Structure 1
Amino acid sequence: MIRASAPGSVMITGEHAVVYGSRAIVVAIEQRLTVTLRPRTDQLVRLSSEIAETQMVDLDQLQAVGPYKFVLAAIAMHRDAIDTGMDISISSEIDPTLGLGSSAAVTIAALGAVLTFTGQPLNGIHSKAYQIIQDIQGRGSGADLAASLQGGMLAYRAPPNPEMVALPHPPTISLRYCGYKTPTSVVLQKVAERMIGREAEFDELYAVMGGLADHAISAAKDRDWEAFADALTNYQTRMEDLGVSDETLNQIITSARQAEGVMAAKISGSGLGDCVLAIGAPPDGFTPVTLASEGLIIHD
């Protein structure tokens, strides 16, 4: 039996701009997803979890579709090294209402389990996972993959020139779910449509956003959390300029900023729903999250 686990993740800053080559900050959180792999004596792959119906697939007929698509893609990527079927079960501590990088966590954990099962080294997992996400979703920076793989808080740049640099842990992080989500791919498409005919304007906006993310990274390295918070606050303004902070998100952010002990509040993720992030004392309605020091773990 092989068990591999990976943590969920939260985007701190750099959303959207990271897709266009800028750096971002992402953090792993101590809500873990575990993939357990047991070899079978036949050529079948049986997949089960707490949130989806059990699925049985022939090893030679793998397709990355359905609720287990990321796991199936990880198996298919290494089919040539696999001689027998397997039972794969997935358990998760990641809060499904907060959208905390569960797709990234299951992809990293599945790759860790499959590579261990086939006796292959674990190096290169991020590039493999990034390829899977791109193949399935068509978009994405891979920042959440980096956090699930490495743990901690990272300065991140997406391929083709990937960068993953560990940063000091910040003050308390808390989240509040706004009550609805818009898939990242849909948000990115909406922004791309708004860019048509306004490319120069958006290029300038992304340059400003990239600069603010760089300021936040420098501040984190110096443990200057006031400057870090200021960069996050200014980044939220740019997210509003981008058109991804709606009235509900704006109201949550405004209320959070008025609470005592809050250093910054902003969207976490692509926007048009999902979560608001607060740095400092958790405001009313926000849930504190614990940072995960470790990323992918292959358990004994």
Structure 2
Amino acid sequence: MMVDRELFVSAPGKVILHGEHAVVHGKVALAVGLNLRTFLRLRPGKDNGTVEINLPNIGTKLTWKISDLQALVPSFHNSPESKPLGPSPEQLDFLKTFAGFSNGTTDTESLAVLAFLYLYLSICGQALPSLEIVVWSQLPTGAGLGSSAAYSVSIAAALLATSGKISIPAQENIRWTQAELTLINSWAFQGEKVIHGNPSGVDNAVGTWGGALRFQAGEINPIERVPVLEILLTNTCVPRSTKTLVAGVKDKLLKFPGIMEPVLSSINAISEECQRVLQAGVEGLTIEQYSVLEVR
């Protein structure tokens, strides 16, 4: 049953304290949620047979006829109750053709639209709802703060809720169940794949659960009672493509495995040691413990 009222969703950004890039190759990463968020407002459509996505941060507002989208459904729909399989190269080619994007599309607007269309078609299936969705964010794009993951988490949660696959919390302080959060996270990961190609999954995990997490090879473990940390983030205002950076690390690993494997192992050891320090300093870090974190 489709939701018949306005729905608000938000998800936090993230910062990876330790394990950046190595996490894509099965190493440990430690990540924490930020007090910067992405927000989504969903309204049922006006019975005009359209779906609209409005992304004011990047100046994008698009509307499609549901009758046109319906023809794509057989190529996308699979059961949200099971683990999503998604997105195949063929599906992405279908979407790029439908949206009028070239195969080499890498700009923020195009990738955000493709991720939305993929999640909308895959989650909602045969009964495509008429919706008006607005997504805005406090997170800069291309700054390594998980803006795309917060976007994917918000979109996935809203679509799962509006299509009746997860509940709609009646009050702001009531959270989704672990099973529902796991489903949100699994679909958000598919949105991240559309945008980044081969993401680790850590960004969408933090966007879904928040707090501090240890992430390794898809296994998510909350880090309990982390001491309060003041993190200085500097925005250079020079955007970077996570997809390109991840591909660059993979290329170096394939070309120079004897050099890169020890580097990744060292990064893993740093993550392990810093987790030990953080958990030992729950009452506040000593100067010696801070020095360990700073050196690493």
TM norm. shorter chain > 0.5:
yes
Partner in structure 2 of residue 284 of structure 1:
none
Identity %: 23
1:89 deviation in Å? 0.8
Partner in structure 2 of residue 267 of structure 1:
none
Q: Deviations over 1:199-252 (max 9, x none)?
A: 1221111111111101111211212745664554454xxxxxxxxxxxxxxxxx
How many residues are aligned here? 233
On the 8 A contact 1:70/1:103 being kept in 2, the answer is: no
Q: Secondary structure at the match of 1:32?
A: strand
Q: How far apart, in 1, do the equivalents of 2:256 and 2:36 lie?
A: 40
Partner in structure 2 of residue 189 of structure 1:
247
Partner in structure 2 of residue 79 of structure 1:
124
Q: How far apart, in 1, do the equivalents of 2:271 and 2:154 lie?
A: 28
Q: How far apart, in 1, do the equivalents of 2:292 and 2:21 lie?
A: 15
Q: Secondary structure at the match of 1:120?
A: coil
On the 8 A contact 1:33/1:92 being kept in 2, the answer is: yes
TM-score by length of 2: 0.71
Partner in structure 1 of residue 223 of structure 2:
166
Partner in structure 2 of residue 125 of structure 1:
184
Structure ranking higher in strand proportion: 1
Partner in structure 2 of residue 92 of structure 1:
137
On the 8 A contact 2:121/2:128 being kept in 1, the answer is: no
- Correspondent of 2:31 among 26, 32, 44: 26
Q: Deviations over 1:29-52 (max 9, x none)?
A: 111211111111133111112222
Residue segments in structure 2 that go unaligned for 5+ positions in a row: 1-5, 73-94, 100-109, 167-179
Q: How does 1:130-149 map to 2 (within 5 A)?
A: 130-149=189-208
Moved more, 224-233 or 22-31: 224-233
Q: Does 1:44 align with 2:44?
A: no
Moved more, 33-42 or 92-101: 92-101
1:188 deviation in Å? 2.3
Q: Secondary structure at the match of 2:233?
A: strand
Partner in structure 2 of residue 151 of structure 1:
210
TM-score by length of 1: 0.70
Residue segments in structure 1 that go unaligned for 5+ positions in a row: 236-300
Partner in structure 2 of residue 54 of structure 1:
61
On the 8 A contact 2:200/2:217 being kept in 1, the answer is: yes
Q: Secondary structure at the match of 1:175?
A: coil
Structure 1 residues 99 and 213 mapped into 2: Cα distance closer, same or farther (>3 Å)?
closer
On the 8 A contact 2:19/2:268 being kept in 1, the answer is: yes
Q: How does 1:247-258 map to 2 (within 5 A)?
A: none
Q: Secondary structure at the match of 1:84?
A: coil
Q: How far apart, in 2, do the equivalents of 1:137 and 1:85 lie?
A: 28
On the 8 A contact 2:114/2:194 being kept in 1, the answer is: no
1:109 deviation in Å? 0.8
Structure ranking higher in helix proportion: 2
Q: How far apart, in 2, do the equivalents of 1:180 and 1:231 lie?
A: 30
Q: How does 1:214-229 map to 2 (within 5 A)?
A: 214-223=272-281, 225=285, 229=290
